[in-house]
Structure 1
Amino acid sequence: MTALLVAHGQPSDPGPAARALDALAAKVASHLPGREVRAATLAEPGALARAVAGPPGTVLPLFMACGWFSETHLPTRLAQAGGAAWHILPPLGCTPEVQDLTVTLAAEAAAEGATALILAAHGSGRSPMPAAVTRLVASRVSRETAIARAEAAFLEQAPRLSDIAGSFPETTVCLPWFAAEGGHVAEDLPELLAEGGFRGRILPPVGLDPRLPALIARLLARQM
């Protein structure tokens, strides 16, 4: 059976995000001998239709939250592309495995001297569901690691990164709760932190951790 990784992509410049997703799919496939792993971003014209051509398989949305995108928008886009029969798994960020990895990343940062953590996510002005996942993971960091203070903050809803960044000490790390390094991670997030007077260190996004391809492969192997 075929697996398909689907990500938002970058509408203003689809190429780089599509190539990064292709590279991730290749890494995941290296852990699944004999299985095909395809990739498509929603931002790249025609990519989804090309990816779902042929017998139906399994879709893993590389979204970091549940909600409208995974429950309404993606099924609609798949149906329009001819992939209505494909089986959609829960979004990446809603899986216990990725949440466990995030707690591990926080514990590793604590072992290197971090005492506080900001879990930075996109957020939504329309639904509470994306923020709820981020807050859940931040609360786990507080309970399960040596990080003394862990809070969720957002780009597009309260509390915004710029509102709370200055209240954290220099021994703080900001962990982007994102599946890839697009414009939000590379530009918006650092700008909001700087605006708020952030004095700590920004970690790579969760989606770039080198353990992720094998983790995704394990998720897919249970369904393929």
Structure 2
Amino acid sequence: MTAALIVAHGQPSDPLPAAAELARLADRVAALLPDHDLAAATLAEPGALARATAGRAPGVVFPLFMAGGWFTRHLIPARLAEAGATGWQVLEPFGCDPAVQDLAVRIAAQSGAARVLLAAHGSSKSPAPSAIARYLAARITAATGAEAAAAFIDQTPRLALATGYGADAVCLPFFAMPGGHVTTDLPAALAEAGFGGRLLPAVGQHPDVPALIARAIVAAAPVCAGACRWA
């Protein structure tokens, strides 16, 4: 069987709930991949990556991240090396998958909203997360006619300053997991901004996501395959 490992960031302050949520997602993906030996680990849970790779032949690592960057290109390979897990291939992250981006556009279209606030984490260290979010906001506008814009938790333009959104708007969280950013930070920022629209579930919570992850694992596209527009 081909080994596959889904890796997420997790919640450093409280790693077990996020690890349990990831395990539930991995079970749904595994049900679609009977010819794969699939496991999951968060970077925040001590020893999880070592436990998940122990005794498994090298396979593929699917990063449940919304963009490529330091975590996917450097930290995950470094943690694998620390665990003695050599030969594993790190794949393109979840949010870089065109099928995931298509899903986000479809969710926005199905909302019927005239305005879409695409909420993302952003980064003060890499342009990739904001580049993906801005690209996706432009795609939503082109596909639906809605006025779409991206705002961020960790960089400008910040969600807390995204004012002027009324009842005709939705906020679509471009996040992979329903962690603290989605359940706490994002609602707090929207409240500060006076957001008057609907807050949708995170893209990663959509029922189609396990099938998209399974498809990506089978396709096994290596991280930043070809010319990476998100670098």
TM-score (norm 1): 0.95
Structure-2 separation of matches of 1:204 and 1:84: 37
- Matched-pair contact (CA < 8 Å) for 1:75–1:84: no
2:212 aligned counterpart, secondary structure: helix
Structure-2 separation of matches of 1:210 and 1:61: 19
Paired residue for 2:96, among 75, 94, 97? Answer: 94
Deviation at 1:34, TM superposition (A): 2.9
- Range moving further from structure 2, 4-13 or 127-136: 127-136
Paired residue for 1:176, among 173, 177, 182? Answer: 173
Deviation at 1:84, TM superposition (A): 3.1
1:193 paired residue number: 190
Structure-2 separation of matches of 1:60 and 1:102: 19
Deviation at 1:36, TM superposition (A): 1.7
Deviation at 1:57, TM superposition (A): 0.5
**In the alignment, does 2:98 pair up with 1:57?**
no
Residues 92-142 of structure 1: CA distance to partner in whole angstroms, max 9, x if unpaired?
A: 0011111111111111112xxx11111101111122111111111111001
Moved runs in structure 1, 4+ residues, more than 2 A?
none
Structure-1 separation of matches of 2:142 and 2:136: 10
Structure-2 separation of matches of 1:65 and 1:193: 23
1:153 aligned counterpart, secondary structure: strand
Residues 150-199 of structure 1: CA distance to partner in whole angstroms, max 9, x if unpaired?
A: 000000110001111x2222111101111001111100000010001100
Deviation at 1:40, TM superposition (A): 0.1
1:47 paired residue number: 48
One-letter amino acid of the structure 1 residue matched with residue 35 of structure 2: G
One-letter amino acid of the structure 2 residue matched with residue 18 of structure 1: A
- Matched-pair contact (CA < 8 Å) for 1:9–1:41: yes
2:130 paired residue number: 131
2:160 paired residue number: 162
1:108 paired residue number: 110
Residues 11-54 of structure 1: CA distance to partner in whole angstroms, max 9, x if unpaired?
A: 11111100111110110011112322100000001100011122
Where structure 2 has 5 or more consecutive residues not aligned to the other structure, the ranges are 222-231
**When the two structures are aligned, how many residues end up with a matched partner?**
219
Identity of paired residues, percent? 54
TM-score (norm 2): 0.92
Residues 75-94 of structure 1: CA distance to partner in whole angstroms, max 9, x if unpaired?
A: 11111112231000011001
Deviation at 1:2, TM superposition (A): 1.0
